[in-house]
Structure 1
Amino acid sequence: MTALLEPPIPGYDLDDEELPAFSDAELDLVFVEAAVDRLLASAGAGRTDPERIDRIRRLKTQLNRLDAALHDTAHDFARAHVAARIDAAGAQAAETIDPEKLERSIAAQIALACRTSPHHGRTRIRVARDLHNGFDHLRALFLAGELDADKITAIVTAADTLTPDQRAELDRRLAEHDLTRLGIGRLRDLTRRLVAEIAPADFAKRCEAAKKTRRVTVRPAADGMAFLTAHLPVEQAVGCLAALDKAHRDLSASPEPLTRTRGQVMADTLVERLTGKTHATDIDLHVQVMIPVEALIDPESPLPAEIPGYGPVPADLLATNKGRTTLRRLITRQGVVIGGDTRQRRFTRFLDELIRARTRNRCTEAYCDAPIRHIDHITRAADHGTTTLDQGRGTCEFHNYLREQPGWKVEHTPDGVQTTTPTGHTYPNAPPR
């Protein structure tokens, strides 16, 4: 019989007679942490390539199982948090609790603990909830480490409109396939097809309702570029792409030599048709630009300008545009906004712009990359907070409303601005850089 060796507890001498007492839950994590320490210490040990591949495979399996344990713990926390709020409110007041606001508070706490955005926190808690309500086979694969969190999330979110009974039917149909051999895209497509078969009437209603969500968004990309995204009904999106492709084919058939690629022609045609300009480079600009004070002092400074929320750009890039350009300069030192120039007369509007630019138009809450939607008083106006640059912080809608939930608090500390959650955990806000 082989003896089982318990791994050492990190930070403690096993020969010490006065080891601290751990609860069962704490002891489980202590052993996991000790095992990870040993894995990291032996990562560079001499092995053959086949052994390394086998090791990678086994590590990934255990990582999946840890992710499954994390989802289970998140589910337990959510259930306990809801029960505690109901108990605190009392039997009569419990009916007045807003489920959406309560979920928002739960998701935010999980997101902070996982060091991720509220969107991912909400996704995680909803996936954990649905896994416990109909997805028995899928959850078993997750617990066994056969599927990772990304694949589980792709499947569960594709079926988020189903009832528990419908999820159980989907789970049964999914069990007929070898899910472990499929990539995320194939898993998502398979799930969507089965969902449409299981609830065809609901699928038709969602397709009709989805048309109301059509929109256009922009998000930053590297090297002074950005992604312009149109969320459209599929027939309109295909029609737009066909029109842009036709523009390229028409130019290709003309006698003049074509010096641009197909992608460049389509992109330029899109800009020209949207703006009504003859050439894509003729667009008019009204841009808020952050200029390092060093660049104002030294014309040869290599420091780039920056458009808040979209990233750095070479200063001369803006000057090459053929359209009419209006710039609002905000002066920075080491990336922090310290002043600006403006012709606007309303101070409150300029202060709003300074606060947004200070954090690159990103929400100041930790791990949140959402764009700023609200300017929030760190010390509430109702608590005699002043409307100044130091007292203002930019937040997304989610986090501005979140601080109004029971147990949440935002305050100044010697190290900056800090958020406290209902469990008493504290998280420093993202620095203004």
Structure 2
Amino acid sequence: MDDMGDMLESLRDLRVRRAQIDAQEVALLARISAVVGDDRGLAEELTPVLRVSTREVERRIDDAKSLTGRMPQLLAAMRAGDVETYGARRVLAVVDPLDDWAAQQVDELLAERLVEASETAWQPGNLAQRARRLVEKIDPDGQTARARRARAERRVELTPGEHAMSSFEAQLPAEVAAACYTRVDGMARSLRRGGDRRTLDQLRADVTADLLLGRDPGVALPEAAATVSVHVPADAALGISDDGCELDGYGPIPAPIAREIMTNSRSIWRAVLCDPGTGEPVDLGRTRRRPSATIRDLVRIRDRECVMPWCHRPARHCDHDHEHAWAAPGGGGSTSVANGGPRCRRHHRLKDQPGWSARYDPVHGITQVTTPHGATYTARREPVLTPTRTAPTRDAQARDAQARRVRRCDSPTRQAQSRTAPTRDDPKHRNEDNPPF
């Protein structure tokens, strides 16, 4: 028992230290924000420093400003080790719609109520409940406005998960969400009573998907009707390797799952031919006439995500950006695979902001970003497939290129060979003479 008591006390000490470190981060973020002024640019610069998503950095900055400016008593509780970031964030979500005066009133009253409260009162859910009651007391007339604001912010979110699954979440007015669930649950239970062997959880999920996709709920098991990029080595042509496939916008999925999607009669799939030495896409199966569409498809499949190192927005939801501007003075860049890269709208705009330098080499897949305060980050694109042989080094490529030039000069068929030599725009051509930057 003594050992257990010591371990519990150690856990309590860890929790206190974690809360105090959270408070230190809050204070430092608030100071940095006050100095820099541009929270949006600051969030981008701090993303690789804090090693979280840009959205999470933005949220931490907002929380820091609210805690230091509107909820100083709650911040003091963090410094005392009573509440960590998660608990504080639950309270901030409750008081967020209030003006500064009302938020400070809730902060002071909450601190008074917690002076002699039990330890369980500090649990995040209980803190949020106490704060909610205080908000209703301080600003009873604002409940309707808060509800209208929350309803105006209704949305749907798709979050990639693990094991070839994703989460589809809809933020809806309470009564609409309740009505939706009641209908889905009722249809699922009806199918269950009719002899369907799926669990109720499976049936609810399948019925929801059927309704959204315009199918008759419960008639058949859900099928993935999607556009699937099937990545295969060029020497295997259209064969599917059990080493793994990728689903556009999700990532690696097991080959059997990819084949199930591909064989669905409602799915559209295309062969992506890859260089077995580098694993990079070099061509697409041609099923569309417009070259611009083909270029966009190949760029999206090659890069898969926004080219910023810390952004994972799927390329299909990004802008097609000319790395060398199309309308640049003195001759713009070409609209080609070798001059294109996907950038989400946010990072497309950030590229040209003062102080930022964000360069991407589409051929070699290297991104180099320099922030306004001088930090530089470099990242390299991962190949679509694992290369089947070691890619040659740049020195080896240069030696091979020189040897090819010598052979062409000595060969009586030099002219015939030169007519079939790859051009600089050919994706298979390796530009040995020019460095990435």
Fold-level match, TM-score > 0.5?
yes
Report the TM-score when normalising by structure 2: 0.73
1:317 corresponds in structure 2 to: 257
Superposed CA RMSD in Å reads: 3.1
2:414 corresponds in structure 1 to: none
2:402 corresponds in structure 1 to: none
Contact preservation (8 Å) 2:233, 2:273: yes
CA distances 1:154-195 after superposition (whole Å, capped 9, x unpaired): 322332222221121111222113496333333334434433
1:221 CA displacement: 2.4
2:200 corresponds in structure 1 to: 262
* 1:368 paired to 2:311: yes
Instruction: Determine helix, strand or coil for the equivalent of 2:52.
Output: coil
1:261 CA displacement: 0.8
* CA–CA distance in structure 1, aligned partners of residues 303 and 244 of structure 2: 17
Please, which of 15, 21, 26 is the counterpart of residue 71 of structure 1?
Answer: 26
Please, which of 239, 243, 246 is the counterpart of residue 186 of structure 2?
Answer: 246
* 1:118 paired to 2:38: no
* 1:401 paired to 2:349: yes
CA distances 1:257-306 after superposition (whole Å, capped 9, x unpaired): 33111112222222333333343447583413241318936958421221
* CA–CA distance in structure 2, aligned partners of residues 432 and 267 of structure 1: 34
CA distances 1:322-342 after superposition (whole Å, capped 9, x unpaired): 543221233445764343223
Report the TM-score when normalising by structure 1: 0.74
2:44 corresponds in structure 1 to: 108
Contact preservation (8 Å) 1:408, 1:422: yes
Counterpart mapping for 1:252-331 below 5 A: 252-254=192-194, 257-278=195-216, 279-281=219-221, 285-293=225-233, 296=236, 301-320=241-260, 323-331=265-273
Please, which of 281, 291, 295 is the counterpart of residue 351 of structure 1?
Answer: 295
The verdict on how the C-alpha distance between 1:407 and 1:342 changes in structure 2, with shifts beyond 3 A counting, is same
Counterpart mapping for 1:74-89 below 5 A: 74-82=29-37
Contact preservation (8 Å) 1:291, 1:305: yes
* CA–CA distance in structure 2, aligned partners of residues 286 and 157 of structure 1: 37
1:426 CA displacement: 1.2
1:431 corresponds in structure 2 to: 381
Letter in structure 1 aligned against 2:301: A
1:145 corresponds in structure 2 to: 81
Letter in structure 2 aligned against 1:340: L
- Runs of at least 5 residues in structure 2 that lack an aligned partner in the other structure: 384-437
1:129 CA displacement: 0.8
Instruction: Determine helix, strand or coil for the equivalent of 2:354.
Output: coil
* CA–CA distance in structure 1, aligned partners of residues 4 and 97 of structure 2: 45
* CA–CA distance in structure 1, aligned partners of residues 132 and 234 of structure 2: 54
CA distances 1:216-258 after superposition (whole Å, capped 9, x unpaired): 343322222222222222111111111111113323444xx33
**What count of residue pairs does the alignment treat as equivalent?**
365
* 1:420 paired to 2:370: yes
* CA–CA distance in structure 2, aligned partners of residues 139 and 179 of structure 1: 19
Counterpart mapping for 1:163-312 below 5 A: 163-175=99-111, 176-177=113-114, 178=117, 181=120, 182-254=122-194, 257-278=195-216, 279-281=219-221, 285-293=225-233, 296=236, 301-312=241-252
Contact preservation (8 Å) 1:288, 1:330: no
1:121 CA displacement: 1.3
Letter in structure 1 aligned against 2:311: C
Contact preservation (8 Å) 1:288, 1:308: yes
* CA–CA distance in structure 2, aligned partners of residues 67 and 163 of structure 1: 25
The verdict on how the C-alpha distance between 1:184 and 1:346 changes in structure 2, with shifts beyond 3 A counting, is farther
- Runs of at least 5 residues in structure 1 that lack an aligned partner in the other structure: 1-46, 83-101
* CA–CA distance in structure 2, aligned partners of residues 335 and 154 of structure 1: 45
* CA–CA distance in structure 2, aligned partners of residues 390 and 185 of structure 1: 52
The verdict on how the C-alpha distance between 1:261 and 1:319 changes in structure 2, with shifts beyond 3 A counting, is same
* CA–CA distance in structure 1, aligned partners of residues 310 and 5 of structure 2: 38
Contact preservation (8 Å) 2:306, 2:343: yes
* CA–CA distance in structure 1, aligned partners of residues 135 and 235 of structure 2: 57
* CA–CA distance in structure 2, aligned partners of residues 337 and 193 of structure 1: 57
Farther-moved stretch of structure 1 (400-409 vs 128-137): 400-409
The verdict on how the C-alpha distance between 1:387 and 1:186 changes in structure 2, with shifts beyond 3 A counting, is farther
* CA–CA distance in structure 2, aligned partners of residues 49 and 430 of structure 1: 48
1:341 corresponds in structure 2 to: 285
Instruction: Determine helix, strand or coil for the equivalent of 2:167.
Output: strand
* CA–CA distance in structure 1, aligned partners of residues 159 and 55 of structure 2: 16
* CA–CA distance in structure 1, aligned partners of residues 294 and 341 of structure 2: 14
2:386 corresponds in structure 1 to: none
2:430 corresponds in structure 1 to: none
The percent of aligned pairs where both chains have the same amino acid is 25
Contact preservation (8 Å) 1:367, 1:430: no
2:63 corresponds in structure 1 to: 127
Contact preservation (8 Å) 1:244, 1:266: yes
